[in-house]
């Protein structure tokens, strides 16, 4: 695939993704006041999670679209007297919001299954804090279109621990409770990391690997669709407390 064809494919996907994810967030917000009281805490967390994700990706995707529109992926804007790369600024915005997204996913697990956070839950919150701290040093080179190694790995390892830890907690308790909705949510998180990991490791030497961000992003859209269909949609019947296996004699 030529560079031009890849650029147009990325642009088309990015714009479509933003339209879909914002439509889902708006639909969630409109439906939230009409939900039963026992569903609102869980629904509100999903709304916050995807609202933050949409906001960060608007920066990430939107600034890439703007850079392409200017004819230069390295296009910059003046911010507080400094020239800041559009793509790098967008990458920083989504790096923050995706971290908060997974923090909320841990909170969603806690709310859905009524389990205490325990040592693992608090360890995942600590991983989020470490991730945000590691993103501060100038060595991250946020102005770069391609994130530098080894700092790309340094800042993504805590995110991987956070996301995979959230998936583990959700899948462990969803399977035990025979909760198909949350089982699929956990599976989608794993799928997103399956495609994201090669990007973290190899995009510096093989830029075309970055196209794996498309299926990774589709996994997030799938989670949003699952949440809306089973919690927000009129007539949705997701119980506030998942069924649990009957005790054995």
Q: Are 31 and 67 in contact (CB under 8 A)?
A: no
117 CB neighbour count, 10 Å cutoff: 15
pTM for the model: 0.89
Say which residue the tokens 């699929």 belong to.
Answer: 184
β-strands 82-85, 76-79 pairing: antiparallel
What band does 69 get if pLDDT is binned at 50, 70 and 90?
A: confident
Per-residue pLDDT for 149 more than 60?
yes
pLDDT tens-place string over residues 5-60:
766 777 788 889 999 999 999 999 999 999 999 999 999 999 999 999 999 989 88
Task: Say what the pLDDT of residue 247 is.
Answer: 41
> What token pair was written down for 176?
């035990």
Reduce the secondary structure of the chain to three states and give it as a string: CCHHHHHHHHHHHHHHHHHHHHHHHHHHHHHHHHCCCCCHHHHHHHHHHHHHHHHHHHHHHHHHHHHHHCCCCCCEEEECCEEEEHHHHHHHHHHHHHHHHHHHHHHHHHHHHCCCCHHHHHHHHHHHHHHHHHCCCHHHCCCCCCCCCCHHHHHHHHHHHHHHHHHHHHHHHHHHCCCHHHHHHHHHHHHHHHHHHHHHHHCCCCHHHHHHHHHHHHHHHHHHHHHHHHHHCCCCCCCCCCCCCCCCC
Structure tokens that stand for 70 in this block: 């200017």
For 97, the token pair is: 């919001």
- ∠ CA 68-5-70 to the nearest 5 degrees? 15
Query: What whole-number distance in Å separates Cα of residue 63 and Cα of residue 87?
Result: 6
The Cα 18–Cα 57 span in angstroms is: 8
CATH code matching the domain that covers 3-232, chosen among 1.10.287.110, 1.20.1070.10, 2.60.120.10, 3.50.30.30: 1.20.1070.10
Higher pLDDT, 184 or 93: 184
Say if residue 75's pLDDT is above 70.
no
pLDDT of residue 148: 86
The answer to whether 5 and 211 are in contact (CB under 8 A) is no
Dihedral in degrees, nearest 10, Cα atoms 229, 191, 179, 227: -20
Tell me the mean pLDDT in the region 133-159: 89
């Amino acid at each position: 695939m030529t560079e031009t064809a890849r650029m147009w494919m990325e642009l088309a996907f990015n714009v479509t993704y933003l339209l879909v994810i914002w439509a889902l967030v708006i639909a969630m917000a409109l439906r939230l006041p009409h939900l039963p009281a026992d569903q609102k805490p869980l629904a509100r967390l999903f709304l916050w999670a995807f609202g933050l994700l949409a906001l960060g990706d608007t920066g990430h995707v939107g600034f890439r679209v703007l850079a392409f529109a200017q004819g230069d992926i390295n296009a910059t804007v003046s911010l507080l007297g400094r020239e800041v790369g559009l793509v790098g600024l967008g990458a920083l915005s989504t790096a923050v919001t995706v971290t908060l997204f997974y923090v909320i996913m841990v909170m969603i697990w806690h709310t859905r299954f009524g389990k205490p956070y325990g040592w693992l839950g608090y360890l995942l919150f600590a991983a989020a804090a470490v991730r945000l701290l590691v993103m501060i040093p100038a060595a991250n080179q946020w102005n770069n279109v391609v994130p530098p190694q080894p700092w790309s790995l340094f800042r993504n390892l805590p995110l991987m621990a956070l996301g995979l830890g959230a998936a583990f907690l959700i899948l462990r308790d969803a399977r035990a409770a025979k909760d198909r909705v949350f089982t699929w949510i956990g599976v989608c998180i794993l799928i997103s990391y399956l495609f994201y990991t090669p990007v973290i490791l190899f995009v510096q030497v093989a830029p075309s690997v970055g196209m794996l961000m498309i299926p990774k992003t589709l996994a997030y859209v799938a989670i949003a669709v699952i949440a809306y269909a089973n919690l927000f949609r009129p007539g949705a019947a997701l119980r506030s407390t998942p069924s649990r296996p009957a005790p054995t004699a």
